[in-house]
Amino acid sequence: MCGIVGYIGSRSAKEIVINGLKRLEYRGYDSAGIALFNGDVKIVKCKGRVRDLEEMACREDFNGTIGVGHTRWATHGEPNEMNAHPQVSYKGNFVVVHNGIIENYSRIKRHLESRGIPFRSQTDTEVVAHLIEHLYLEGSLTAEQAITTALNNIEGAYGLVIVCRNEQDRIFAARRGSPLVIGVGEGENFIASDATPIIEHTQRVIYLKDDDIAIIKKDELILKTIRTPVIQPEVQEIDLKIGEIDKEGFPHFMLKEIYEQPRAIRDTLRGRILPDGSAIVLGGLHDVIDRLSNARRIIIVACGTSWHAGLMGEYIFEEYARIPVEVEYASEFRYRNPLITSDDILIAISQSGETADTLAAVRLAKERGAMVIGICNVVGSGIPRETNAGVYTHAGPEIGVASTKAFTTQVTVLAMAAFEIGYKKGVLTEEIYRQLIKELVLLPSLVEKTLEVNEKVAEIARIMKDASNALYLGRGYLFPVALEGALKLKEISYIHAEGYPAAEMKHGPIALIDEEMPVVVVATKDHTYEKIINNIQEIKARKGTIIAIVTEGDQIIGKIADYVIEVPETLPVFSGILAVIPLQLLSYHVAVMRGCDVDQPRNLAKSVTVE
Ligand code: G6P
């Protein structure tokens, strides 16, 4: 939710900030703005994308060696120029960009208005700018003192980057809840919501922690917290290559990321299976594996696609580790006074590691004494920093708003963990354990083979592109796949779609089926295969158009379904990882055919850092 970039150095800030914002557009893209400083200040803002901002900024004959920029996903106030960031204080002394939500903004606003301070926007961010300036002018404080005092009065979540017009040798940055990373350069420094705008300039970064305040100068960095004086910054080298955040010839990030899945899963597995295939060793769980094996129950919390991976995890853990699992929407869990004890283990799944509700669920579980494990993709993000242990998926940056490789790598991690625990507990014999590992190792090449369905899927997309609704059905491991397929279609093509357990269809959705309704049935071979054939017959009898995902060589479903997409044979536990791929491709092609913006669908954002 909202991307922030800042630069201070000797180069042209305009290009650096705008290029950085383009990399962060996945975080929000309804309006954008930039402030440039060269003794004077110039602000350019617009409704729309960063490319619109770029056009406007390029027309301005103004540049600077300090700049801050913002790409917005609106929370308070509709997307328009006035509400776009930067927000400027009433006398123009402070320029502020913000990611997050200031929860007590109305109270502060009332107070400031009662002192005669005028407001122009509907944003919560404007109160921050005004509050700082009010403290600065009325309290005769320095900029730094005014900012620290303001932060002590603000409630909510923020990643804030602030420049004081009268101190143009520094950028202030502060974090609580919303991520900020400093890029440490030579004679120049950077600040951004994540490392992607930074890596083309430097690989040395500092991840700000909650309540940190940074004073970033051209050749000096000072780190403090709201309460303590100077602290030692922890500089890390990041291993992120520029190619990983480019489309590399693909028309969209989503398609690139779908095609990256063999590589992504290989990276997830790398170094975690002994070379002789005798064991899985998840280093990140080493210290907690005994506790995990003896867990009374596991609670999985997540949102969106990660929640679907969690549901798959429930089925896998129950079958292979014999541990009861509950899967919770993080947003529901955190507000429900859930029953958690110190015997429980909470697994938080999150691609970004920054989803506000998932992070809050982690904190709640920790407060109540549960052990918390993270399964995340973004290294150094909020959730991995707050959990007791965890496993990175190593899928590489996922930029397309619709999550793809995050899902398959999350399921891969969940399967590895369940197998390792199942074997340790004696639930799995050595023979079965080794067989599972053998098939796990084959997964990347099976995914590669599955991708060969792309052209066929593109043809089938033609019959779905004009639909208004679609139904996705699956049973067992394939039910979460049906949910995920429906979510993908909704997200990027705006066709209403629902995922259902195939047998539940009779309890409602069957009423919707007629000639107009495409029904995608995920029906690869497992112990419910015969049953799902019956479900397909029921759809057929009501004239629904059936698109079936089946195991290669299936002789039966092809005779009933209208369209069949084959995926390679694997163990049922991995069938979802293969079956989801044609569904990702299907939504992709439908969205392209409908002229939708695949990588930046309307109203969505990749990282939901507000609740
Ligand atoms: C947003 C994204 C989804 C993602 C969900 C959870 O809604 O658009 O693609 O699945 O957040 O994100 P996380 O980073 O926690 O996995």
Render 488-539 in DSSP notation, one character per residue.
HHHHHH--EEEEEEGGGGGGTGGGG-STT-EEEEE--SSTTHHHHHHHHHHH
| Ligand 1 center from residue 308 Cα (angstroms) | 11
Burial class (CB in 10 A: 0-12, 13-18, 19+), 593: middle
83 in Cβ contact with 74 (< 8 Å) = yes
- Residue with the two structure tokens 């098939």: 439
Active site residue 22: no
**193-206 average pLDDT score:** 94
Reply yes or no on whether the pLDDT at 609 is more than 80.
Answer: no
Q: What is the pLDDT of residues 320-337, one digit of tens each?
A: 999 999 999 999 998 888
5 in Cβ contact with 20 (< 8 Å) = yes
Torsion of CA 273, 278, 280, 281, to 10 degrees: -80
Catalytic-role residue among 256, 424, 490, 606: 606
Task: List ligand 1's pocket residues with C-beta within 6 A.
Answer: 303-306, 350-352, 355, 358, 401-403, 604, 606-608
Active site residue 2: yes
Name the band, by pLDDT with cuts 50, 70 and 90, for residue 29.
confident
Reply yes or no on whether the pLDDT at 4 is more than 80.
Answer: yes
Separation between Cα atoms, residue 44 and residue 446, nearest integer Å: 49
Strands 94-102 and 87-88: antiparallel
Q: What is the pLDDT of residues 239-294, one digit of tens each?
A: 777 777 788 889 999 999 999 999 999 999 999 999 999 999 999 999 999 999 99
Reply yes or no on whether the pLDDT at 604 is more than 90.
Answer: no
| Ligand 1 center from residue 387 Cα (angstroms) | 19
| Ligand 1 center from residue 604 Cα (angstroms) | 10
**204-230 average pLDDT score:** 94
Q: What is the pLDDT of residue 515?
A: 87
Three-point CA angle 120, 125, 126, nearest 5°: 30
Q: What is the pLDDT of residues 548-570, one digit of tens each?
A: 999 999 999 999 999 999 999 99
- How many other CB atoms sit within 10 Å of the CB of residue 166? 10
Separation between Cα atoms, residue 341 and residue 308, nearest integer Å: 25
Q: Rounded mean pLDDT of the chain?
A: 94
Name the band, by pLDDT with cuts 50, 70 and 90, for residue 109.
very high
Separation between Cα atoms, residue 390 and residue 416, nearest integer Å: 13
pTM, 2 dp: 0.83
**159-166 average pLDDT score:** 97
Q: State the sign of the Cα–Cα–Cα–Cα dihedral 265, 271, 275, 276.
A: negative
Per this entry, what is the length of the chain?
Answer: 611
Name the band, by pLDDT with cuts 50, 70 and 90, for residue 111.
very high
Reply yes or no on whether the pLDDT at 51 is more than 90.
Answer: yes
Separation between Cα atoms, residue 177 and residue 194, nearest integer Å: 13
- Cα–chain center distance at 383: 12
